[in-house]
Protein backbone atom coordinates (compact mmCIF):
# COMPACT_ATOMS: atom_id res chain seq x y z
CA UNK A 1 0.00 0.00 0.00
CA UNK A 2 1.30 3.44 -0.96
CA UNK A 3 1.49 6.06 1.78
CA UNK A 4 -2.01 7.30 2.58
CA UNK A 5 -2.42 11.02 3.21
CA UNK A 6 -5.31 13.44 3.51
CA UNK A 7 -4.82 14.15 -0.20
CA UNK A 8 -5.22 10.43 -0.95
CA UNK A 9 -8.54 10.32 0.88
CA UNK A 10 -9.73 13.51 -0.83
CA UNK A 11 -8.96 11.87 -4.16
CA UNK A 12 -10.88 8.74 -3.12
CA UNK A 13 -13.92 10.95 -2.48
CA UNK A 14 -13.63 12.69 -5.84
CA UNK A 15 -13.30 9.33 -7.58
CA UNK A 16 -16.21 7.77 -5.69
CA UNK A 17 -13.93 5.15 -4.15
CA UNK A 18 -15.19 4.00 -0.75
CA UNK A 19 -12.62 3.09 1.90
CA UNK A 20 -12.47 1.25 5.21
CA UNK A 21 -11.04 2.33 8.54
CA UNK A 22 -10.46 0.52 11.82
CA UNK A 23 -9.42 1.35 15.33
CA UNK A 24 -6.01 -0.01 16.33
CA UNK A 25 -4.07 0.14 19.56
CA UNK A 26 -0.84 -1.79 19.03
CA UNK A 27 1.84 -2.48 16.45
CA UNK A 28 0.90 -6.08 15.62
CA UNK A 29 -2.75 -5.43 14.81
CA UNK A 30 -1.81 -2.24 12.98
CA UNK A 31 0.55 -4.21 10.73
CA UNK A 32 -2.14 -6.83 10.05
CA UNK A 33 -4.69 -4.17 9.19
CA UNK A 34 -2.29 -2.36 6.87
CA UNK A 35 -1.50 -5.66 5.13
CA UNK A 36 -5.24 -6.03 4.50
CA UNK A 37 -5.33 -2.63 2.78
CA UNK A 38 -7.05 -0.66 5.53
CA UNK A 39 -5.94 2.90 4.67
CA UNK A 40 -7.00 4.66 7.90
CA UNK A 41 -6.25 3.55 11.46
CA UNK A 42 -7.74 5.38 14.44
CA UNK A 43 -6.28 5.26 17.92
CA UNK A 44 -9.67 5.69 19.51
CA UNK A 45 -10.46 6.75 23.03
CA UNK A 46 -12.61 3.63 22.77
CA UNK A 47 -9.52 2.04 24.34
CA UNK A 48 -11.01 3.14 27.67
CA UNK A 49 -13.84 0.67 27.10
CA UNK A 50 -12.32 -2.16 25.07
CA UNK A 51 -8.85 -2.22 26.66
CA UNK A 52 -9.39 -0.75 30.11
CA UNK A 53 -12.89 -2.05 30.81
CA UNK A 54 -14.55 1.26 31.65
CA UNK A 55 -18.20 2.04 30.92
CA UNK A 56 -17.31 5.08 28.80
CA UNK A 57 -14.31 6.89 27.29
CA UNK A 58 -13.97 9.72 29.79
CA UNK A 59 -11.00 8.46 31.83
CA UNK A 60 -8.65 8.16 28.85
CA UNK A 61 -5.68 10.55 28.93
CA UNK A 62 -3.58 12.23 26.27
CA UNK A 63 -0.57 10.24 27.49
CA UNK A 64 -2.40 6.97 26.95
CA UNK A 65 -3.49 7.93 23.44
CA UNK A 66 0.08 9.05 22.66
CA UNK A 67 1.51 5.71 23.85
CA UNK A 68 -0.84 3.70 21.65
CA UNK A 69 -0.31 6.09 18.75
CA UNK A 70 3.43 5.40 18.85
CA UNK A 71 2.72 1.66 18.77
CA UNK A 72 0.31 1.88 15.83
CA UNK A 73 2.55 4.22 13.83
CA UNK A 74 5.43 1.75 14.18
CA UNK A 75 3.34 -1.11 12.82
CA UNK A 76 1.61 0.71 9.97
CA UNK A 77 3.96 3.18 8.31
CA UNK A 78 1.81 3.49 5.18
CA UNK A 79 -1.64 3.98 6.72
CA UNK A 80 -2.98 7.35 7.75
CA UNK A 81 -2.77 7.28 11.55
CA UNK A 82 -5.44 9.33 13.28
CA UNK A 83 -5.54 9.90 17.03
CA UNK A 84 -8.51 10.79 19.19
CA UNK A 85 -8.16 13.78 21.45
CA UNK A 86 -9.57 12.64 24.80
CA UNK A 87 -12.22 14.21 26.98
CA UNK A 88 -11.37 17.79 28.04
CA UNK A 89 -8.04 17.78 26.20
CA UNK A 90 -9.35 20.46 23.79
CA UNK A 91 -11.62 22.49 26.07
CA UNK A 92 -9.75 25.63 24.99
CA UNK A 93 -7.86 26.29 21.75
CA UNK A 94 -4.58 26.57 23.68
CA UNK A 95 -5.05 23.18 25.34
CA UNK A 96 -5.98 21.71 21.96
CA UNK A 97 -2.79 23.04 20.36
CA UNK A 98 -0.58 21.67 23.13
CA UNK A 99 -2.21 18.24 23.30
CA UNK A 100 -2.46 17.86 19.53
CA UNK A 101 1.27 18.54 19.31
CA UNK A 102 1.88 15.67 21.75
CA UNK A 103 -0.14 13.29 19.59
CA UNK A 104 1.45 14.44 16.34
CA UNK A 105 4.92 13.96 17.82
CA UNK A 106 3.86 10.43 18.82
CA UNK A 107 3.17 9.59 15.17
CA UNK A 108 -0.36 10.78 14.38
CA UNK A 109 -0.99 12.45 11.03
CA UNK A 110 -4.42 13.74 12.05
CA UNK A 111 -6.34 14.34 15.27
CA UNK A 112 -10.06 13.81 15.84
CA UNK A 113 -12.26 16.06 17.97
CA UNK A 114 -15.87 15.58 19.01
CA UNK A 115 -18.23 18.54 18.76
CA UNK A 116 -19.82 21.13 16.55
CA UNK A 117 -19.89 24.90 16.26
CA UNK A 118 -18.10 25.57 19.54
CA UNK A 119 -14.98 24.00 18.01
CA UNK A 120 -14.69 26.26 14.98
CA UNK A 121 -11.94 28.47 16.41
CA UNK A 122 -10.02 25.39 17.56
CA UNK A 123 -10.31 23.70 14.15
CA UNK A 124 -9.12 26.85 12.40
CA UNK A 125 -6.22 27.24 14.81
CA UNK A 126 -5.08 23.63 14.54
CA UNK A 127 -5.24 23.73 10.74
CA UNK A 128 -3.27 26.98 10.67
CA UNK A 129 -0.68 25.30 12.90
CA UNK A 130 -0.28 22.35 10.48
CA UNK A 131 -2.41 19.84 12.40
CA UNK A 132 -4.98 18.12 10.14
CA UNK A 133 -8.35 17.75 11.86
CA UNK A 134 -11.08 15.16 11.62
CA UNK A 135 -14.34 16.42 13.11
CA UNK A 136 -16.86 14.08 14.75
CA UNK A 137 -20.63 14.70 14.83
CA UNK A 138 -23.75 12.74 15.72
CA UNK A 139 -23.30 10.47 18.70
CA UNK A 140 -20.17 11.87 20.32
CA UNK A 141 -19.27 9.40 23.08
CA UNK A 142 -17.54 11.99 25.25
CA UNK A 143 -20.96 13.65 25.60
CA UNK A 144 -22.68 10.46 26.76
CA UNK A 145 -23.86 12.01 30.01
CA UNK A 146 -25.33 15.02 28.20
CA UNK A 147 -27.19 12.73 25.78
CA UNK A 148 -28.37 10.48 28.62
CA UNK A 149 -26.78 7.41 27.06
CA UNK A 150 -25.53 6.14 23.71
CA UNK A 151 -28.44 7.28 21.54
CA UNK A 152 -29.01 7.91 17.84
CA UNK A 153 -28.74 11.61 17.01
CA UNK A 154 -30.39 13.75 14.32
CA UNK A 155 -33.74 11.96 14.26
CA UNK A 156 -35.92 15.08 14.04
CA UNK A 157 -35.85 17.55 11.17
CA UNK A 158 -34.47 20.32 13.38
CA UNK A 159 -31.77 18.08 14.86
CA UNK A 160 -30.78 16.82 11.42
CA UNK A 161 -30.53 20.36 10.04
CA UNK A 162 -28.37 21.39 13.00
CA UNK A 163 -25.92 18.54 12.33
CA UNK A 164 -25.80 19.35 8.61
CA UNK A 165 -25.14 23.03 9.36
CA UNK A 166 -22.38 22.17 11.82
CA UNK A 167 -20.77 19.81 9.31
CA UNK A 168 -20.62 22.61 6.75
CA UNK A 169 -19.19 25.03 9.31
CA UNK A 170 -16.49 22.57 10.36
CA UNK A 171 -15.46 22.01 6.74
CA UNK A 172 -15.27 25.77 6.19
CA UNK A 173 -13.14 26.08 9.34
CA UNK A 174 -10.60 23.67 7.87
CA UNK A 175 -11.58 20.16 8.94
CA UNK A 176 -10.10 17.69 6.46
CA UNK A 177 -12.42 14.80 7.31
CA UNK A 178 -15.62 14.10 9.24
CA UNK A 179 -16.83 11.10 11.24
CA UNK A 180 -20.60 10.66 11.58
CA UNK A 181 -21.70 8.27 14.30
CA UNK A 182 -25.19 6.85 14.86
CA UNK A 183 -27.26 9.17 12.70
CA UNK A 184 -30.05 8.26 10.27
CA UNK A 185 -28.75 6.97 6.94
CA UNK A 186 -30.62 9.66 4.99
CA UNK A 187 -28.94 12.42 7.00
CA UNK A 188 -25.50 10.87 6.54
CA UNK A 189 -26.09 10.67 2.78
CA UNK A 190 -27.13 14.34 2.65
CA UNK A 191 -24.06 15.43 4.60
CA UNK A 192 -21.71 13.31 2.48
CA UNK A 193 -23.13 14.88 -0.68
CA UNK A 194 -22.97 18.40 0.76
CA UNK A 195 -19.31 18.28 1.80
CA UNK A 196 -16.19 18.10 -0.35
CA UNK A 197 -14.18 16.43 2.45
CA UNK A 198 -14.41 12.66 3.06
CA UNK A 199 -17.12 11.52 5.47
CA UNK A 200 -16.62 8.30 7.44
CA UNK A 201 -19.67 6.63 8.92
CA UNK A 202 -20.24 4.30 11.85
CA UNK A 203 -23.88 3.43 12.26
CA UNK A 204 -24.63 6.03 9.57
CA UNK A 205 -25.72 3.97 6.58
CA UNK A 206 -23.96 2.95 3.40
CA UNK A 207 -23.75 6.28 1.57
CA UNK A 208 -20.78 7.84 3.37
CA UNK A 209 -17.36 7.89 1.72
CA UNK A 210 -15.82 5.51 4.26
CA UNK A 211 -16.80 3.17 7.08
CA UNK A 212 -15.10 2.61 10.41
CA UNK A 213 -15.50 -0.11 13.03
CA UNK A 214 -13.92 -0.71 16.40
CA UNK A 215 -11.59 -3.66 15.82
CA UNK A 216 -13.13 -5.60 18.69
CA UNK A 217 -16.55 -5.42 16.99
CA UNK A 218 -15.01 -6.62 13.71
CA UNK A 219 -13.56 -9.61 15.56
CA UNK A 220 -16.58 -10.35 17.74
CA UNK A 221 -14.76 -9.55 20.98
CA UNK A 222 -17.38 -7.83 23.10
CA UNK A 223 -18.30 -7.41 26.74
CA UNK A 224 -21.86 -8.55 26.04
CA UNK A 225 -23.30 -5.52 24.22
CA UNK A 226 -23.19 -5.74 20.42
CA UNK A 227 -23.93 -2.42 18.65
CA UNK A 228 -26.44 -2.55 15.81
CA UNK A 229 -23.81 -1.24 13.39
CA UNK A 230 -21.30 -4.01 14.21
CA UNK A 231 -20.60 -7.12 12.17
CA UNK A 232 -18.54 -10.10 13.33
CA UNK A 233 -16.32 -10.77 10.32
CA UNK A 234 -14.09 -13.20 12.19
CA UNK A 235 -16.97 -15.62 12.72
CA UNK A 236 -17.60 -15.66 8.98
CA UNK A 237 -14.02 -15.79 7.71
CA UNK A 238 -12.02 -17.71 10.31
CA UNK A 239 -8.86 -15.62 10.56
CA UNK A 240 -8.04 -12.05 11.47
CA UNK A 241 -6.41 -11.40 8.11
CA UNK A 242 -9.33 -12.83 6.13
CA UNK A 243 -11.87 -11.01 8.30
CA UNK A 244 -10.12 -7.68 7.86
CA UNK A 245 -9.74 -8.15 4.10
CA UNK A 246 -13.43 -9.05 3.81
CA UNK A 247 -14.44 -5.92 5.70
CA UNK A 248 -12.29 -3.74 3.46
CA UNK A 249 -13.68 -5.38 0.33
CA UNK A 250 -17.32 -5.14 1.43
CA UNK A 251 -16.88 -1.44 2.18
CA UNK A 252 -15.25 -0.81 -1.21
CA UNK A 253 -18.10 -2.68 -2.95
CA UNK A 254 -20.79 -0.85 -0.98
CA UNK A 255 -21.99 -4.09 0.61
CA UNK A 256 -21.33 -2.99 4.19
CA UNK A 257 -23.15 -1.66 6.06
CA UNK A 258 -26.48 -3.22 5.15
CA UNK A 259 -29.89 -1.94 6.24
CA UNK A 260 -29.65 -4.13 9.34
CA UNK A 261 -26.61 -2.13 10.49
CA UNK A 262 -28.18 1.29 9.88
CA UNK A 263 -30.71 3.64 11.44
Ligand-binding site membership of 168 (annotated): no
Burial environment of residue 3 by CB neighbours within 10 A (0 to 12, 13 to 18, 19 or more):
exposed
Ligand-binding site membership of 45 (annotated): yes
Select which of 181, 236, 250, 260 is catalytic.
181
Ligand-binding site membership of 84 (annotated): yes
Active site residue 171: no
Q: Which residue numbers are catalytic?
A: 181
Task: Give the annotated binding-site residues.
Answer: 45-46, 84, 112, 114
Task: Give the annotated binding-site residues for Mg(2+).
Answer: 45, 84, 114
Task: Give the annotated binding-site residues for 3-methyl-2-oxobutanoate.
Answer: 45-46, 84, 112
Amino acid sequence: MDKITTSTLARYKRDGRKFAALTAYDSSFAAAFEAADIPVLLIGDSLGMVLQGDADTLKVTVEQIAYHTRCVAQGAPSALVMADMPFMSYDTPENAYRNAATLMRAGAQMVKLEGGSWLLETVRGLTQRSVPVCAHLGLTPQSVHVFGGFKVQGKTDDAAMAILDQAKQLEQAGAAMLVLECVPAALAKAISQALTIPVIGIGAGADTDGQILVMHDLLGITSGYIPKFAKNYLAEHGSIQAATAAFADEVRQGQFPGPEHSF
